[in-house]
Amino acid sequence: MPVHLDDTLNFEQGPIRPPSEARSLLLRFTRNCPWNKCKFCPVYKRRTFSRRTVEEIKADIDAAATMREQIVALSQEMGEGGQVSQAVVNHVFSNPRLSDAFRNVAAWLYYGTGAVFIQDANNLVMKPEALVEALKHLRARIPEVERITTYARSSTAAQRTVEELKMIREAGLDRVHIGLETGYDPLLKFMKKGVTAEKQIKGGQNVKAAGMELSEYVMPGLGGRKWWKEHATATAQVLNQIDPDFIRLRTLRVPDRIELYQDVQSGEFEKPSDDEVAAEIRLFIETLDGIHSYLASDHIMNLIETVEGRLPEDKPKMLALLDSYLEMPDRDRLMYRLCRRMGRCREPRDLERPGMRDQLGAALKQVETQGDPDAILNEMADSMV
C-alpha cells in the first residue's frame, strides 16, 4: 500500500528564529513576547503574549513525530533506505496540500542537524516543571533530536534559580539565545528594554552555571551618536563578567514601523553612520577582555560579515579587519557599502575581485543620480529588517 502523507497534519510555528537555527526544526512553546516594549524591535508588535498548555505543546510534538514517521516510510518506499534524500524532500515540497510545518520536518531530516529551536521570545517564562515535561516529551518522541535551543530574556533567567535551570538543562535544553543589546543602563532605560546591566549579568551567569550554552546578542549602533562610546564599553564590560559561549552582532536598523523611528524623526535619537558603527564595533571588541567567547557577525544587516573569531586569540585579526575598512578612501567605503547592500560582498577585500570595482563604480554613479548616496545606502540597509 503506497505511503500516505497526511495533509491534515500541522503544528504551530512562530514568526522568527536566529539565523544560526536556519536548519532547525521549529516548535512553538509560547506565543509572542511577554515584554514587547523595546523601541528597536519590530517583532510581535500588536500581538498578545500567551502561554501554551503542555497538552497543546505535546500535541504539536506528536504531530511532528507522525510527519517524521511518514517521511521516513516514504523514503523506504522510494528505495532511499529511510534516508531523507533530495528526491524525498522534493516529493514532500511538490505536494501543495501539505503544511509548511510538514515541509519544515522534511527539510530538517534532510539537513540532519538534529537541532530544534523552540519559539517564541521567552520560553524560560514557562513554569519550570511544565517546560521540563515538554522537553522530555520532545526528546522521547523524535529520535533525531540532538540539540534544543530557545530565546529567553535575561531578566527571566535572572529570576530562575540555578537549580531550576539545571533541571531544565537535564530535561534537554542545550542552548539559550538572549538579546543583551547593550550593557549601558541609561540606554537600556531609554530603549525600554526592561532590564538593568546587573540583571543582564546575573541572567547570563545563571544560564552558564546551569551548564547550558549561552548566545548573547549585541546591537551595534543602538547608542546612537550620543552614547556610542558608553554603549560599546559598558556592553563589553557586562560580557566580560558573563563569558558567554557566543557573542552575535546585530546592527541597529530603524525601519519606519518601530517606535525608535519616531525618536529619529524628532531628533531625540541620531542614527550613527556605517563608518561610525564600524568604529564603535572596534572599541567594543577592543574592550572585551578575559573571556573565551566566539564572536560572530552572522547577519546581512551587519556591514562586515567576516568580523568573527575566538577570543582572545582572534581579537587582533578582527581589529585589523575593521581597520582595513576604516582606513579605506571615502569613495571605496561607499563602494563597499553598496556592494554589501547588494549582497555581493562580505568583507572589504571582496572589492578586489576581478571586475568588481568597475561594476560597483558604475552602480554607485547610478545611485548618485538618485540623491544622497549615504541616505540611499542607509535606506537599503533599513529595508533588510
CA distances from 162 to 159, 170, 171, 206, 238 (A): 9, 12, 14, 6, 19
Every domain of the chain and the residues it spans: 1-34+44-114+126-147, 153-327, 333-385
| CB neighbour class for 385 (10 Å; exposed up to 12, middle 13-18, buried from 19) | middle
Residue found by looking up cell 552558564 in the block: 208
153-327 fold: Transcription Regulator spoIIAA (3.30.750)
What are 77's three cell numbers? Answer: 518506499
3-state secondary structure of 119: strand
Q: What is the mean pLDDT of each run of 10 residues along the chain (385 residues)?
A: 87 93 97 96 92 98 98 95 96 96 97 97 97 98 97 97 98 98 98 98 98 98 98 98 98 93 96 96 98 94 96 98 96 94 94 94 90 86 74
d(CA 248, CA 237) in angstroms, rounded, equals: 16
In this structure, the dihedral spanned by the alpha carbons of residues 325, 305, 279 and 186, taken in order and rounded to 10 degrees, is 170
Position 133 scores a pLDDT of 98
Cross-strand pairs, 151: 177
The separation between the first and the last C-alpha atoms of the chain, rounded to the nearest angstrom, is 48
Position 379 scores a pLDDT of 83
Position 373 scores a pLDDT of 85
**Model-level pTM?**
0.93
